[in-house]
């Protein structure tokens, strides 16, 4: 069965679906969740998604299962899937945990990283700095090219930490934080110099100044959280039914 996302489906019963197909569907859904096309708490009906993407039910189910692993989709016992809800309590907990986990990864990267790590961090920062953060036509939304490079910059900072498990945990936390971070953009009441925050973080990391780097990291993450909490977003206050 040809897919509307440009991939062909293996129709043999009982066979695992091609990774490329499930990955492509997962990435489409991930993008729609991060940009709030699919809202927190929204039910994800497998049959509807399969029809929209012109793929099998099994293809959608596998894609959703992958997003469950990343924490941005929830599996409901006997009731399918939904976009993971958001809340102020979850945001606070997530931010504290991310600061601790990413801080540990950054400390290890500063201790272990050599010239290649330094060059990767500087290159990622340079590429990020030349991109506009907000969309030209929709200034309340990210420029997606910036968002992709922003991900690479933060990955580069911890890339030399030497722990696959730590990087996996950090990835899950990043995915969750990305949903909240995008919520903060239209809520900013004064100009935020994100590039200066990144520069401070990079310079401290490359200088191996652990206390300054960890402080810059924590303040960078916390500022986004504070913006959202100060705005008292209704979505974070209203209970979402399972």
**Whether residue 100 is found in the same domain as residue 24:** no
Residue 143 has pLDDT above 80, yes or no: no
**Total domains present in the chain:** 2
> For residues 58 and 16, is the Cβ–Cβ distance under 8 A?
no
> Does 194 lie in the same domain as 173?
yes
Q: Determine which of 10-24, 74-88, 149-163, 179-193 has the lowest per-residue pLDDT on average.
A: 10-24
CA separation for the pair 200, 222 (Å, rounded): 15
pTM over 0.85: no
State the pLDDT at residue 5: 52
Tell me the pLDDT tens digit for each residue of 93-131.
Answer: 999 999 999 999 999 999 999 999 999 999 999 999 999
For 147-190, what is each residue's pLDDT tens digit?
Answer: 899 999 999 999 999 999 999 999 989 988 888 877 766 665 56
In a domain, 225, yes or no: yes
Check whether residue 103 and residue 79 sit in a common domain.
no
Query: Could you tell me the pLDDT band of residue 12, with boundaries at 50, 70 and 90?
Result: very low
Same domain, 65 and 94: no
Work out the mean pLDDT of the chain and round it to a whole number. Answer: 84
d(CA 146, CA 22): 25
CATH at residue 170: 1.20.120.530
Q: Are residues 139 and 181 in the same domain?
A: yes
Do 128 and 214 have their domain in common? Answer: yes
* Residue 2 covered by a domain: no
Instruction: List, in order, residues 6 or more apart from 235 with CB less than 8 Å away.
Output: 39, 40, 86, 183
Within a 10 A sphere around the Cβ of 221, how many other Cβ atoms? 21
- Domain of 196 in residue numbering reads as 88-237
Query: With contact defined as beta carbons under 8 Å apart, do 219 and 225 qualify?
Result: no
Tell me which of 51, 68, 83 is where a domain ends. Answer: 83
Quote the DSSP letter at residue 185: G
Same domain, 186 and 72: no
* Helices 144-158 and 194-206, packing angle to 10 deg: 20
The predicted model gives 23-50 an average pLDDT of: 88
Q: What is the pLDDT of residues 189-200, one digit of tens each?
A: 566 789 999 999
C-beta separation of 224 from 58 below 8 A = no
């Amino acid at each position: 069965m040809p897919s509307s996302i440009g991939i062909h489906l293996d129709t043999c019963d009982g066979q695992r679906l091609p990774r490329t197909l499930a990955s492509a569907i997962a990435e489409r859904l991930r993008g729609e969740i991060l940009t709030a096309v699919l809202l927190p708490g929204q039910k994800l009906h497998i049959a509807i998604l399969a029809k929209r993407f012109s793929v099998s039910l099994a293809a959608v189910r596998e894609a959703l299962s992958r997003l469950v692993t990343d924490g941005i989709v929830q599996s409901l016992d006997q009731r399918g899937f939904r976009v993971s809800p958001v809340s102020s309590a979850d945001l606070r907990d997530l931010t504290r945990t991310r600061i601790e986990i990413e801080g540990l990864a950054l400390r290890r990267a500063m201790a272990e990283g050599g010239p290649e790590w330094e060059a990767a961090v500087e290159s990622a920062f340079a590429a990020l700095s030349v991109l506009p953060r907000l969309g030209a036509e929709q200034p309340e939304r990210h420029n997606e090219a910036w968002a992709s490079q922003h991900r690479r910059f933060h990955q580069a900072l911890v890339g030399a930490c030497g722990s696959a498990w730590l990087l996996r945990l950090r990835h899950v936390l990043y995915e969750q934080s990305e949903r909240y971070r995008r919520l903060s953009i239209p809520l900013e009441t004064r100009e935020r110099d994100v590039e200066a925050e990144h520069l401070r973080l990079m310079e401290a990391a490359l200088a191996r100044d652990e206390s300054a780097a960890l402080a810059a990291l924590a303040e960078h993450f916390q500022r986004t959280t504070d913006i959202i909490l100060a705005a008292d977003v209704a979505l974070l206050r209203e209970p979402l039914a399972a």
